[in-house]
Structure 1
Amino acid sequence: MQSPNTPEDYKRVIETALLAAGAPMPVATLRRLFEEDPGADFVRRLLDELRADWDGRGVELAQTAGGWRFQTRLEYQVYLDRLKEEKPPKYSRAVLETLAIIAYRQPVTRGDIEDIRGVAVSPSVLKTLESRGWIDEVGHRDTPGRPALFATTRRFLDDLGLRSLTELPALTEIERIMELVELPALGQPASEAAEEVGADESGESTESPG
């Protein structure tokens, strides 16, 4: 393909890169697709146009904390779930409540979480959230014992399809929080969904080469 000459050419290159990507792509990365930098404002305008182009379809272009990505719309994910052999992981109420507290009160210590929940926090709860990539240790409080401080990660925002913590619902909406935390199992990136749909029962791709 020749170097892009029109905005439509640039938009198709960006669209292709996002569809092939396995993770959100920030504007700075998308600018590197081109030999001559088109500029951040130009790329953002094309992203807005792309989002409008895909409006009303089963896949949407979404902006997250880590950048832009194509993902399956939630209302269609139930159909793709029927092709999966493994069910999405279910987390205990203790895990979800701990995650909610960290998200809204961060940075917090294990003791802070226990004070808010009124019960002891099992080490396995924090380990589960750390292994999922949703929280991380970000320092220590300058108090006796120097307890570890925990905060949410960019991956947490990306998995929930959020750009920032300000998009979280009110803390009192506990049930809504539970739904949001389970979104990663539902709103998977479009590229991953396409790979699973294109696999037969033996797990091998049914797509023709080239």
Structure 2
Amino acid sequence: MREPDNIAQMKAILEAALLTSPQPLALDDLLKLFAGRMERATLRMLLDELKADWMEKTLELVQVASGYRFQAKEAYGEYLSRLNPERQPKYSRAVMETLAIIAYRQPVTRGDIEQIRGVAVNPNVIRQLQERDWIDIVGQREVPGRPALYATTKHFLDDLNLRSLAELPPFEAFAQSEIPLE
């Protein structure tokens, strides 16, 4: 197969890859489509054009922590949820508080979380967050016992449509709201 020779072909290739990928695609993955014959700046320009091309459609091209993906615009979420009526998991206050502490104070140990919350952390809370792939062990603190250090994952950011932790709402706004995490 010959290499694309115009912008429209390149955008069509990017569009096909993004629409068929089950997970976000990083810039490096997208560059592989063009066998190393494209500069990152050109790729970013094509992605911006693709995003603009889809402005008036039902899907939007978004950038999250792991890369780029197409997703339905928020206005269609209520309707699409009817196709999959299973209830989203509800998380206990303990799970949400633990996740918030990890997200805003990372990396933290179980002891740090207990000190902030003022109660012991149930091992099931940590396990639930790890099974959801929202947190992971990123190292050990260099103190006696070498406790595990927990931090959020790219999957956590992707699920919240964030590119980085800097996009989290200010802690005070988060603490005062009932933000549902799906």
**TM tier, shorter chain?**
over 0.9
Q: Larger relative CO (CA 8 A, sep 6+): 1 or 2?
A: 1
1:156 is aligned to 156
Alignment of 1:61-140 (within 5 A): 61-140=61-140
Unaligned runs of 5+ in 1: 186-210
35 and 114 in structure 1: CA distance in 2 versus 1, 3 angstrom threshold: closer
Is the contact between residue 100 and residue 177 of structure 1 (CA under 8 Å) also seen in structure 2?
A: no
Distance change in 2, residues 1:67/1:178 (3 Å): farther
Name the TM-score, length of structure 2 as normaliser.
0.93
User: Which residue does the alignment assign to 1:54?
Assistant: 54
- Identity across the alignment (%): 53
1:160 Cα deviation (Å)? 1.2
Q: How many residues align?
A: 182
Moved >4 Å (runs of 4+): 175-178
Question: What SS is found at the alignment partner of 1:75?
Answer: helix
Give the match's secondary structure for 2:100.
Answer: helix
Q: CA deviation at 1:172?
A: 0.9
Q: Which moved more, 1:30-39 or 1:71-80?
A: 30-39
Paired with 1:20 and 1:115, the residues of 2 have a C-alpha distance of: 45
Which amino acid is 1:20 matched to?
Answer: T
Q: Distance in 1 between matches of 2:112 and 2:166?
A: 21
Task: Give the structure 2 partner of residue 41 of structure 1.
Answer: 41
TM-score by length of 1: 0.81
> Which amino acid in structure 2 is aligned with residue 50 of structure 1?
L
AA aligned opposite 1:6: N
Structure 1 counterpart of 2:172:
172
**Matched position secondary structure for 2:115:** helix
1:135 deviates by 0.4
Once the two structures are TM-superposed, the CA of residue 150 in structure 1 deviates from its matched residue by 0.5
Q: What is the CA–CA distance in structure 2 between the aligned matches of 1:53 and 1:20, rounded to whole Å?
A: 18
- Separation of aligned partners in 1, 2:10 and 2:142: 51
CA deviation map 1:83-118 (0-9, x unaligned): 114222111121111111101100101111111112
CA distance change for structure 1 residues 36 and 143 in 2, over 3 Å: closer, same or farther?
Answer: closer
Q: Note the aligned Cα RMSD (angstroms).
A: 1.7
Give the whole-Å Cα distance in 2 for the aligned partners of 1:144 and 1:29.
42
Indicate how the Cα distance of structure 1 residues 56 and 115 shifts in structure 2: closer, same or farther if over 3 A, else same. farther
In structure 1, the partner of 2:31 is 31
Give the drift of 1:176.
7.1
1:177–1:2 CA distance, 2 compared to 1 (3 A): farther
